[in-house]
Chains A and B, each alone.
Chain A
Amino acid sequence: MGLGFAVGVFGVLILAHAAYSTIQYRGLLKIMEEEFSGPPMNVVIELLLGFAVCMWAALTVPGNFLSIHPYADENRIVSLPANLDFMIFNHRGKAFPLDLDLKLKH
């Protein structure tokens, strides 16, 4: 969690730096009176790196993926709950009372 979060912050910083570099580059172009055709190579690499790092962090920090398949072990229902609202007490267990000394002692 801590590591993933730090990596995510680092990725956002890289993206911010890429944006800052682009703005500076455009300013430089304006001074040199050239046309803007695209960001320089190092900014593109920075963008791709920041994107990858952010994506990794976004996929790891919130938690693990859960299966959506109905037959996955977490989703596959193997038994229904006992219908406790309709439970009745005079069942055959009545014939075999527990021989333990069970009492509330206070």
Chain B
Amino acid sequence: MVSKTEQSQLDRLENQVDNGGGGDWEYLCLVRKLKVRRSDKVLKYGLAILNDPKKRSSLGQDEWTLYEQVAIAAMDCQSIDAAKDCIKVLQKKFSESKRVGRLEAMLLEAKGSWAEAEKAYSSLLEDNPLDQVVHKRRVAMAKAQGNISGAIEWLNKYLEIFMADNDAWRELAEIYVSLQMYKQAAFCYEELILSQPTVPLYHLAYADVLYTLGGLENLQMAKKYYASTIDLTGGKNTRALFGICLCTSAIGHLAKGRNKEEKDSPELQSLAVTALEKDYKQRAPEKLSLLTTALKSMKIS
């Protein structure tokens, strides 16, 4: 989870490192801690540290973590040679390690030799059948080969065993959304909200899925979840504010023919509109006219 302060810290460090202001190692640590994907930068600055014997030896034990990080980043950037060299160093140091074995299998994956990678993963699983990362790699491999239904099948099997793995639930939800299977995606997001009720982004994603599903009941639910996102973010999430406006407009359209007895909280959307206008006035005054026309076309302001 990346909070607002961590995000700004990362941006600041990234800027500093890009301009040659030092702090490379701190930046790499932060990238690792926040689990963000900055492979090109990790490869560039990580290799610079590894190629400098003085800097490398000053890291102590963290040196090996950096080798691993750089190896994965190199695979992501298709620099197979660099990845191979890093893995070779790790192999020399930890010859029996499962973690290095995993890296080697990932290298096979990056090269595109799927059958060999599959073989490597199965032999790793034979040694330790409950290795979560290897299970996840198999899902990713199915996805990389374009076998989305296979990935879903693997992931469902995986989630039957490891039900508390939030990342896997999120991955499954995203796959379902990409296939437009919104009902299944909604189930995954419900699961995520249940296990981490304070993360506003899950509420937001769930509301998005419900809004996409449509229908009066779903729209009303979506509006509630957009409202809870606003509650958790203190109104600083623009997407949730727009969501409230869109839901109100869509509910208005659907309920036009029916009796208008359930006009719940008419002040909610006017408050959202006010918050949006204030936000735009503060951060992008030149786009304010766009906002007002968009809101007018929704017939709510």
A interface list, Cβ under 8 A from B:
69-90, 93-94, 97-98, 100, 102-106
- Could you tell me the distance between the alpha carbons of A106 and B56 in the complex, rounded to whole angstroms? 12
What residues on B are CB-neighbors of A72 within 8 Å? 234
Known: A84-B35, A104-B50. A74 touches B4 (CB 8 A): yes
| Known A87-B37, A89-B144, A102-B47; contact A77-B199, beta-carbon cutoff 8 A | yes
B interface residues, Cβ below 8 angstroms from A:
1-5, 7, 34-37, 40, 43-44, 47, 50-51, 53, 72, 74-79, 81-82, 85-86, 89, 106, 109-110, 112, 132-133, 136-137, 139-141, 143-144, 167, 170-171, 174, 198-201, 232-236
Q: Are B171 and A86 in contact, with the CB atoms below 8 A?
A: yes
Please, which residues of chain B bring their CB within 8 A of the CB of A75? Answer: 3
* Chain A residues within 8 Å of B132, by CB: 85
User: Can you report 22 A-B residue pairs in the complex whose CB atoms are below 8 A from each other?
Assistant: A71-B233, A71-B234, A71-B235, A73-B3, A73-B4, A75-B3, A77-B3, A78-B3, A80-B1, A81-B1, A81-B34, A82-B35, A82-B36, A84-B72, A86-B139, A87-B76, A88-B141, A89-B110, A89-B144, A90-B144, A93-B78, A100-B44
Q: State A89–B88 Cα separation when bound (angstroms).
A: 20
Total A-B pairs, Cβ < 8 A = 121
The answer to whether A83 touches B167, judged by C-beta atoms less than 8 angstroms apart, is yes
Q: Which residues of A contact B89 (CB under 8 A)?
A: 104
Q: Contact: A85 with B201, CB < 8 Å?
A: no
Distance, CA A97 to CA B174, complexed state (A): 27
Are A98's CB and B79's CB within 8 A? yes
In the complex, residue of chain B having the shortest beta-carbon distance to the beta carbon of A90: B144
**A74 vs B8: C-alpha distance when bound (angstroms):** 10
Contacts of A78 in B (CB 8 A): 2-4, 7
SS class of chain A's interface: helix, strand, loop or mixed? loop
User: In the complex the two chains form, is B85's CB within 8 Å of A104's CB?
Assistant: yes
- Report which of B3, B86, B170 forms a contact with A83, defined as CB distance below 8 A: B170
B66 to chain A, nearest CB (A): 12
Please give, as numbers and ranges, the residues of chain A lying within 8 Å of B75 by CB-CB distance. 89
Q: Is the CB of B143 within 8 A of A88?
A: yes
Give min CB distance, B52 to chain A, whole Å.
Answer: 10
Bound-complex Cα distance A104 to B106 (A): 19
CB–CB B35/A93 < 8 A: no
Chain A residues with Cβ below 8 Å from B232 are 70-71, 76
Partner of B200, one of A77, A81, A84, A94: A77
- CB-CB < 8 A to A83: which residues of B? 167, 170-171, 174
Report if A94-B3 is in contact (Cβ < 8 Å); known contacts: A81-B35, A89-B109, A104-B86. Answer: no
- Do residues A79 and B7 form an inter-chain contact, with CB atoms below 8 A? yes
Whether the Cβ atoms of B37 and A82 lie closer than 8 Å is yes
Q: Which 10 A-B pairs have the closest CB atoms?
A: A71-B234, A81-B35, A104-B85, A82-B37, A88-B144, A89-B110, A73-B4, A85-B136, A86-B140, A76-B4
Contacts of B79 in A (CB 8 A): 97-98, 102
Known interface pairs A73-B3, A76-B236, A78-B4; 8 further A-B residue pairs with C-beta atoms within 8 A, sorted by A's residue number: A71-B234, A73-B4, A76-B233, A81-B34, A87-B140, A88-B140, A90-B112, A102-B82
- Is A81 a contact of B139 with CB atoms below 8 Å? no
Q: For the complex, give the distance between the alpha carbons of A69 and B235 in Å.
A: 13
Report whether A77 and B78 are in contact in the complex, using a CB–CB cutoff of 8 Å.
no
The residue that A102 contacts in the complex, of B5, B74, B198, B201, with Cβ under 8 A, is B74
